[in-house]
Amino acid sequence: MACYKNFCVWQQTVKNKRDYQEDRLRVFGVNDYLVAVICDGHGGHRAADFVIKQIFKRLTKHKPTWKNLDLGELLQVVSKEWDQECIKRLPGKSYPKSVEEREKMFQARRWHYDTYGWSAGTTCVMAAISAKHKRIQVANVGDSRAIWRSQKKGRLYQTRDHNPSQKDLGPLGGKVFRDEDKTKRIEGELAVGRALGDNTANLMGTVRADSDIKKRPFKTPFRMILASDGLWDTVSNQKAMEIFNPDKLVKRAIHCGSEDNISIISIEVSS
């Protein structure tokens, strides 16, 4: 646990039963507000590493005031930066506009992309909390989730999970169907509806990277939990808020059958 002024923060991340740890998390201060970020990578950790590094770099360099802070615009910029980083690894200086030509080119480079992590993607949930203004701003892409509550018996809010669905596909469409385990996947591979990265799909226009944004006032005492889907697949919002402590939440998730990476940030704002 770390406390600073009105904030107390607890965090935990575990590999669990996965072969690799692809989650990344970070908590830091900018001006008079706190920023918390969790990225849940897939296809490798390269996209999650890049996104969380760029978020920290951009916010601490430019130090936007609370009035000028726009998490949606920030994620859009970082997403394009990751796409450009991956495009550098493609043959030539540009990529074709037609779906057929893109598919042919990506398949030719698929081994290189997958082996070196350039087809990697990541979810992202992040929150900025201002104790001074008693307001929060939350952004999410994918199925990592944030939940929050003002006062002990206040309404419990959450971000919307972006699970695979036809309405969440990009401008060039695609197909969503269930695999042998009845898990919905885009084109039989991606198990989230939106993501940053996934360039073999994203640059083809089948996966959207735009975020949902929520801006809300709050009253103290205020509590928020951000976590990857390794927690939410087995623990309900209500139970998570009751337990709150990340160490205990990890134990609960594993006891209930979670095998995925689990990353959790719990934040409390006092009066």
Q: Map out the domains of the chain as residue ranges.
A: 2-162+195-204+212-269
Distance CA 150, CA 48 (A): 30
Q: What is the pLDDT along the chain (271 residues), one digit of tens a residue?
A: 788 788 999 999 999 999 999 999 999 999 999 999 999 998 888 899 999 999 999 999 999 999 999 999 999 999 889 888 876 765 554 555 565 665 565 555 554 444 444 567 899 999 999 999 999 999 999 999 999 999 878 899 999 998 766 566 655 556 666 666 666 666 556 667 678 876 555 545 556 778 999 999 999 999 999 999 999 999 999 999 999 999 999 999 999 999 999 999 999 999 7
How crowded is residue 63: how many other Cβ atoms within 10 Å of its Cβ?
11
Name the residue type at position 12: Q
Distance CA 163, CA 73 (A): 22
Q: Take residue 129 and report the two structure tokens written for it.
A: 């909390």
Please state which CATH number belongs to domain 2-162+195-204+212-269. 3.60.40.10
